[in-house]
């Protein structure tokens, strides 16, 4: 596997340790600890909400 990380599997294994309880912002980005995946910080579309004026 070609990765810039010295130990990519160990890095992914340690991500849940930073989680309390489901989402956590780490130095690598926003992490969904339930699905063990990075989450985008940007929203593609905004739906109408009751707070919109």
Which structural domain, as residue segments, surrounds residue 12? 8-39
Structural domain tally of the chain?
A: 1
User: Is position 18 within any domain?
Assistant: yes
H-helix or E-strand spanning residue 9: helix 8-14
**How high is the pLDDT of residue 7?**
80
User: Is position 22 within any domain?
Assistant: yes
User: Is position 21 within any domain?
Assistant: yes
pTM of the entire predicted model:
0.45
- Give residue-wise pLDDT tens across range 38-47: 988 887 776 6
- Give residue-wise pLDDT tens across range 11-42: 777 666 655 568 887 888 888 888 889 988 88
User: Is position 47 within any domain?
Assistant: no
What is the spatial distance between Cα 8 and Cα 41, in angstroms, rounded to a whole number? 22
**How high is the pLDDT of residue 14?**
67
User: Is position 28 within any domain?
Assistant: yes
User: Is position 1 within any domain?
Assistant: no
């Amino acid at each position: 596997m070609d990765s810039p990380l010295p130990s990519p599997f160990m890095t992914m294994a340690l991500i849940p340790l930073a989680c309390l309880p489901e989402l956590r912002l780490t130095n690598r980005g926003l992490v969904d600890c339930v699905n063990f995946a990075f989450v985008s910080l940007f929203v593609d579309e905004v739906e109408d909400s009751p707070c919109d004026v």
